[in-house]
Amino acid sequence: MSLGTHHGGRGGGVQADVEEIVAVADRVRGAIETVIEGKPEVLRVALTVLLAEGHLLIEDVPGVGKTMLAKALGRAVDCSVQRVQFTPDLLPSDITGVSVYHQERREFEFDPGPIFANIVLGDEINRASPKTQAALLECMEERQVSVDGRTRPLERPFMVVATQNPADMEGTYALPEAQRDRFMARVSVGYPSPQAELDMIDSHGTHSPLEGLTPVTDALTVRRLADLVRQVHVAPGMRRYIVDLVNSTRTSPELDLGASPRATLHLVRAARAHAALEGRHYIVPDDVQSLAVPVLAHRLLPGPQAQMERMTAERIVADLVARLPVPAPR
Amino acid sequence: MPLAALVCLLCALPLLSPLVRGDGWWSPAVVLMVTATVVSVLYRMWSGRVGLLVPVLQTAVVGLLIVPLFAGHLAPMGLLPSGAAVEHVFEVFSRGLEVINVNQPPVTATSGVVLIIAVSFAVFLITADFLAATARCPGMVGGLLLALAVVPLVVDGDGIGAWPLAVCAFGFLQLLAVDTWVRGREWGVVVPVPAGGALQHALVATLAGVAAIVLASALPAAVPGLRTDAFHSMAEGTYIGRQNDVITTTHPLVSLRRELLAESDRTVLTYRTEAEEPGYLRRYVLDEFDGVNWTMSPVDASGDTRVEDDLPLPTGWPSAAEEETVLTRVSLDSDIAGMDFLPLPYWARSVDVSGEWYVHPDSLMVFTTEQPSTGLNFTVETSERPVDARELAGAGAPRSLPGDFRSLPRNLDPGVGELTRSLTGHTDSPYLKAVALQEFFTSGDFTYSLRPPEVPGGSDPLVHFLTVDRTGYCQQFAGAMTVMARQAGIPARVAVGYTAGERLGDGRWTVTTGDAHAWPELYFEGAGWVRFEPTPAGATGQGSATEPEYSTGGGLDPETPEPEPTPTIGPDDEPSASEEEPAPSPGASPSAEAEETEGAAAPPVGPDGTGPDLSWVPAAAAVVGVLLVPLLPAAVRALVRRSRSGRPGAAWRELRDTCVDLGLGWDLAESPRATAARLSALRDRNRVPLPEGVRAALHRLALAEERDRYAPASVWDESVGTDLRTIVAGLPGVVTRGVRLRATLLPRSLWDRPRAVTPDPEPQGA
């Protein structure tokens, strides 16, 4: 959607950049949709997180295409993609890499683990032991790896797309709150519609659609676009709005645990990326409103009263959003 | 709930306490109400069904109970409703009605009165039980209580005491509280009270209460109301007459007291006469005394007594007397309820008045059986004959009187008779006795007060007035003197009407409600009925009352003729059919005619009423103003709309107000584009969506507003003004015509703007 050409002073260049973001995002979206159909919402959040340089948690029952989504995202962007299948016996060094002794040069040489990639696909992250989860999550937050006393930065863009089964499935360790907090957003893929499922039979019957997916952009472009996203304007009223929204999760009687200050930062960044994806160089309440559930819900802990009434965190957040007045005119 | 309704109505019983004299009048009412409540409770407990049958059961049980309560001695076994017992109950009921109608409050608690009270309260309780317990709207019971509260207000000028009112209010509030409590229990969920909630509730309740009281006091003053007199005469009446020719009128003494106690002194009538000292204007003559009250004997409205030519000669009229016939023209004020008994000077010889009027030959009362019209004009011809004190002194025993005007109830307190004897024992002359009686009242021992202290229960009001507190107003003075005159052997009766009033000049007089009066008329053979004046006059008494000179005894000197009413005909330029005169029309009335009618609305323009009467101009302006008031909100709204043509933010506020006006809702948590999407999806009753142009305009306006709010810098688009006009014109299409009309006449946005709960960082309208 284009908003026309009404913009002033410094907005001119920004507007052109925003249009580039829209174009690139449209290409990526088109590419992924050849693999996964009928999930525009999930794709929207995934692209938002990519541009906001956050990490994405995909939570759903097995077999609905979590991994396929992550793989397609990785392939659509021409960048390094690594996949780690988390199992209970996976060790931290299996992720970060180890220093091995080089016989010829007679010295230890660092053999980088799968974390050294632009997009890291952590499959079934909640099957690993907490120790291994912690190693991954440290990398996510610091965007660097410390092995043998040496700190190695990770290359931008760096995005972890983790999938997990719902916590009550067999053989899973629930992700602690502190680690859930490091993911910018959580989405559920959900079952496809009957029509999408029919189409899937056809497309998957002949060949794997993933094979035919060609990259439509590259890491360099993504990095530049992510820089542009940081310039999206956040009006003072919008800052206040975001803070009020996050704060309302802390004061809500239905929640035992509210959102952290990191959630505020994540929400601002995600809203910026979302606005850019919509072709705007400023965020509006609609950006925040549409992202509030994916960005906030997985960080919250509903209280006993809410659990008794079968109130999910998603519904509580939606209620809070529906009650909070949008910033008034200046 | 039935118990709460019972308590509520029990608390309302004291409301009637000022109206009933005696003890124990409430007990049958309590018995009936408790019984009906027990029926209700038992039925509801055992059947567990909705109590639609309860009123039927209650009525049956109450009906069965009335017989043993009121006719137990006639019923077999004291219980069963035999024919005789039922008949007796009906008889008691009609006797009670008569007591209530004839007497002025407080009435004695006879069995009939008690029966009426008990039955009324039983009916009220059955209704209240149905409203509160079956229909579950206990607030409606307040209507019943109001009806009860109105009874003492209407019947008695004193109003309700604070104590019964407080008890009644307590009863009603406990009913509401019980209802809330029961509802809470049935719901089963405790509503959490936020911190400081109690204080907030108290504040809200206080504000609501204060607002209600202020509105209730202020609004009636601002809006035109029912004429209170009309209301009063609807509310009660005295039955006069026989069988088919029943005349209903307000009890003369009750209306007298009401007029005297009225807050504002209103003009009742104006009349024109050339007499220097016009006499009183009589309306009623009360000739029967039951020991407490004076009442009127039945009057006859038959063809014989129809007012056509001359009125019958008054009793005792000296046939040989020289007659001087004069005319008096009377204009009743159009703001006063129509009078069914005409105020006439004594002695009227003929009355020229439109409509069907009858005369009571003995008393010369002129009355009608129809609904009297207001603002009546009529001409009365009176015979003027001066009363001479010597003639009175020479009068012997009454011989020519048709009725006996000396009868008194047997049970009259002997103290009164002793007092009369001590005052009049010194002479045999009826005239000197009468003078002595009037002297007794006017000597200064008595105090004039419109609100005499209450007579203690059990004591005779007449004896109390004469011997104990000696405080009262014309009703007591006139009644007491008439009783004592009868004891002294002089035929006497009480006349009720108005004093001569206040002179306006030029032979015109005005009579106000404050001039309402009662006085004794005593009969002397050869002179007829003669007015006496026992009520103190002047500033500390009945202001415009005058003591006739013959009544003071000084009239035994040869001169001092009593100036009886000497109304005169004016300059002979007035047609006698003045009642057909139209209401004052601007600038058209000649002076003399304008005077006749202008008392209706405005004070006279000048002594002569000369010049065009422009008093209608402010009134007309006020009427136009009142008519324009409903359009005020629409005008303000239009001004607000104009001021918001195309400025940033203002257009969006205008959209908001338009939505509020149309009842489309406005959610502060909704972003501009969400609002636009919601409004665009609206459809009218026929599922026709908004026109494409309006939807596009909505979208553009939302995006413009969004840019204005959230973009770093933006240029306001001039086309927004056009878009706004498109929306404001198109949006009302989705609501019904009624809603559109309401939105135009009563735009809600003027007083009901959506406001954020949390303070905005930047206030609106900055």
Instruction: Encode pLDDT of B581-616 as tens digits.
Output: 444 444 444 444 434 444 444 444 444 444 556 667
Calculate the average pLDDT of chain B.
75
In a domain, A4, yes or no: no
CB B284 within 8 A of CB B537: no
Å from A42 to nearest chain B CA? 21
In a domain, A305, yes or no: yes
Å from A217 to nearest chain B CA? 29
Q: How many pairs of residues across A and B have Cβ atoms under 8 Å apart?
A: 98
Inspect the interface and report whether the beta carbons of A10 and B712 lie closer than 8 Å: yes
Say if residue B253's pLDDT is above 80. Answer: no
Structure confidence by residue, pLDDT tens digits, B50-80: 677 788 888 888 888 887 777 767 666 666 6
Q: Which residue does chain B place closest to A287, by CA atoms? A: B671
pLDDT of residue B137: 83
Chain A CB contacts of B760 under 8 Å are 325, 327-328
Say if residue A157's pLDDT is above 70. Answer: yes
CB B340 within 8 A of CB B247: yes
pLDDT of residue A243: 92
pLDDT of residue B647: 66
Q: Which of the four pLDDT bands, split at 50, 70 and 90, describes residue B191? A: low
Among residues A62, A6, A282, A19, the alpha carbon closest in space to that of A189 is found at A62
pLDDT of residue A270: 92
Q: Which of the four pLDDT bands, split at 50, 70 and 90, describes residue B246? A: very low
In a domain, A286, yes or no: yes
Q: Which of the four pLDDT bands, split at 50, 70 and 90, describes residue B236? A: very low
Å from A7 to nearest chain B CA? 6
Q: For A286, which of B673, B708, B715 is closest by C-beta distance?
A: B673
Calculate the average pLDDT of chain A.
82
Inspect the interface and report whether the beta carbons of A326 and B669 lie closer than 8 Å: yes
Inspect the interface and report whether the beta carbons of B757 and A325 lie closer than 8 Å: yes
Chain B CB contacts of A3 under 8 Å are 703, 707
pLDDT of residue B715: 66
pLDDT of residue B231: 40
Inspect the interface and report whether the beta carbons of A324 and B669 lie closer than 8 Å: yes
Chain A CB contacts of B657 under 8 Å are none
Q: Which residue does chain B place closest to A9, by CA atoms? A: B713
Q: State mean pLDDT over A206-232.
A: 82
In a domain, A1, yes or no: no
Q: Which of the four pLDDT bands, split at 50, 70 and 90, describes residue B406? A: confident
Inspect the interface and report whether the beta carbons of B712 and A6 lie closer than 8 Å: no
* DSSP-derived secondary structure for A71-140: HHHHHHEES-EEEEE--TT--THHHHEEEEEETTTTEEEEEE-TTSSSEEEEETGGGS-HHHHHHHHHHH
Q: Which residue does chain B place closest to A245, by CA atoms? A: B669
- Number of Cβ within a 10 Å radius of residue A230: 13
Q: Is B47 on the interface with A (CB under 8 A)?
A: no
Å from A17 to nearest chain B CA? 16
Q: Which of the four pLDDT bands, split at 50, 70 and 90, describes residue A253? A: confident
Inspect the interface and report whether the beta carbons of A328 and B758 lie closer than 8 Å: no
Inspect the interface and report whether the beta carbons of A328 and B756 lie closer than 8 Å: yes
Burial B376-401 (b: 16+ CB within 10 A, else e): bbbbbbbbbbebbbebbbebeebeeb
Q: State mean pLDDT over B488-501.
A: 86
pLDDT of residue B314: 67
Q: Is B764 on the interface with A (CB under 8 A)?
A: yes
Q: Of B168-172, B371-375, B380-384, B708-712, give the lowest mean pLDDT range.
A: B371-375
Å from B743 to nearest chain A CA? 25
Position with higher pLDDT, A224 vs B234 = A224
Q: State mean pLDDT over B149-165.
A: 74
Inspect the interface and report whether the beta carbons of A6 and B715 lie closer than 8 Å: yes
Q: State mean pLDDT over A302-309.
A: 81
Inspect the interface and report whether the beta carbons of B714 and A324 lie closer than 8 Å: no
Number of domains comprising chain A: 1
CB B690 within 8 A of CB B735: no
Give residues with Cβ within 8 angstroms of B493, minimum separation 6. B285, B286, B287, B363, B405, B482, B520, B521, B529
Å from B749 to nearest chain A CA? 17
pLDDT of residue B237: 43
ipTM above 0.85, yes or no: no
Inspect the interface and report whether the beta carbons of A328 and B706 lie closer than 8 Å: no
Q: Which of the four pLDDT bands, split at 50, 70 and 90, describes residue A271? A: very high
Chain B CB contacts of A10 under 8 Å are 712-713
Inspect the interface and report whether the beta carbons of B715 and A11 lie closer than 8 Å: no
Query: Can you say whether residue B687 is alpha, beta or left, with left for phi > 0 and alpha for psi between -120 and 50 degrees?
Result: left
- Give the CATH number, domain containing residue A268: 3.40.50.300
B705, B709, B716: which to substitute to probe chain A, counting the most A Cβ within 10 Å?
A: B709
For residue B757, with 0-12 CB atoms within 10 Å meaning exposed, 13-18 middle and 19 or more buried, which class applies? Answer: exposed
Inspect the interface and report whether the beta carbons of A326 and B710 lie closer than 8 Å: no
pLDDT of residue B234: 38
Q: Of A86-90, A238-242, B47-51, B93-97, give the lowest mean pLDDT range.
A: B47-51
Chain B CB contacts of A282 under 8 Å are 707, 710-712
Q: Which residue does chain A place closest to B648, by CA atoms? A: A329
Percent of chain B with pLDDT over 70: 76
Domain B397-497+519-546 -> CATH class: alpha beta
E-assigned strand segments in B575-666: none
Q: Of B37-41, B273-277, B396-400, give the lowest mean pLDDT range.
A: B396-400
pLDDT of residue B615: 67
Inspect the interface and report whether the beta carbons of A282 and B710 lie closer than 8 Å: yes
Q: For B669, which of A240, A283, A325 is closest by C-beta distance?
A: A325
Q: For A330, which of B667, B671, B762 is closest by C-beta distance?
A: B762
Helix (H) or strand (E) holding B638: helix B632-642
Inspect the interface and report whether the beta carbons of B710 and A235 lie closer than 8 Å: yes
pLDDT of residue B766: 33
Q: State mean pLDDT over A19-42.
A: 84
Give residues with Cβ within 8 angstroms of A84, minimum separation 6. A90, A94, A95, A114, A115, A120, A121, A122, A123, A136
CB B496 within 8 A of CB B341: no
pLDDT of residue B559: 41
Percent of chain B with pLDDT over 90: 0
Q: For B674, which of A10, A240, A286 is closest by C-beta distance?
A: A286
- Report the distance separating Cα B490 and Cα B388, nearest Å: 18
The residues on A that touch B, with CB distances below 8 Å, are 3, 6-11, 233, 235-238, 240, 244, 280-286, 289, 321-330
Backbone angles phi, psi at A182, to 5 degrees: -80, -15
Inspect the interface and report whether the beta carbons of B671 and A289 lie closer than 8 Å: yes
Q: Is B666 on the interface with A (CB under 8 A)?
A: no
Q: State mean pLDDT over B174-186.
A: 83
Query: What is the distance of C-alpha B229 from the center of its chain?
Result: 5
| Reduced DSSP (H G I as helix, E B as strand, rest coil) percent helix, strand, coil of chain A, to 5 | 50, 15, 35
The alpha-helical segments, DSSP class H, found in B317-446 are 389-393, 414-424, 430-442
Q: For B652, which of A8, A322, A329 is closest by C-beta distance?
A: A329
Position with higher pLDDT, B373 vs B591 = B373
Query: Which residue, chain included where needed, has tokens 């004039």?
Result: B448
Max mean pLDDT range (B196-200, B270-274, B595-599): B270-274
pLDDT of residue B108: 73
Q: Which of residues 692-751 of B touch A (CB under 8 A)?
A: 703, 705-715, 717
pLDDT of residue B342: 83
Q: For A6, which of B671, B705, B717 is closest by C-beta distance?
A: B717
Give residues with Cβ within 8 angstroms of A260, minimum separation 6. A181, A299
CB A218 within 8 A of CB A78: yes
Backbone angles phi, psi at B365, to 5 degrees: -75, 140
Q: Is B673 on the interface with A (CB under 8 A)?
A: yes
Position with higher pLDDT, B596 vs A49 = A49
pLDDT of residue A206: 67
Position with higher pLDDT, A66 vs B243 = A66
Inspect the interface and report whether the beta carbons of B712 and A3 lie closer than 8 Å: no
Q: Of B82-91, B134-143, B550-559, give the lowest mean pLDDT range.
A: B550-559
pLDDT of residue A264: 92
